[in-house]
Amino acid sequence: LHSMHKVVLKIPNLENLEHFKKEIQNLELVQYEWVEQPENTTTCLAILSQDRLPKPLMEKYSVKLF
């Protein structure tokens, strides 16, 4: 992680995050998921891709640069 280029994005709510996660998993982009315990809630996704996230997908779930 230290040598990786990092961009922080925010998503407005947990429901959008869960749907967004499923869609990027279908694109095989998810590399790591942080899950908050004991709530068992996803709080962060790390993705690895040579390409950018698809803009329509980001717009669909209101993903914005933080």
> In terms of pLDDT, which residue wins out, 52 or 17?
17
Q: What is the mean pLDDT of residues 34-53?
A: 82
Question: Chain-wide mean pLDDT for the chain?
Answer: 82
In the predicted structure, residue 38 carries a pLDDT above the cut 90: yes
Cα dihedral 57/62/63/66 (nearest 10)? 160
In the predicted structure, residue 28 carries a pLDDT above the cut 90: no
Q: What is the mean pLDDT of residues 3-27?
A: 84
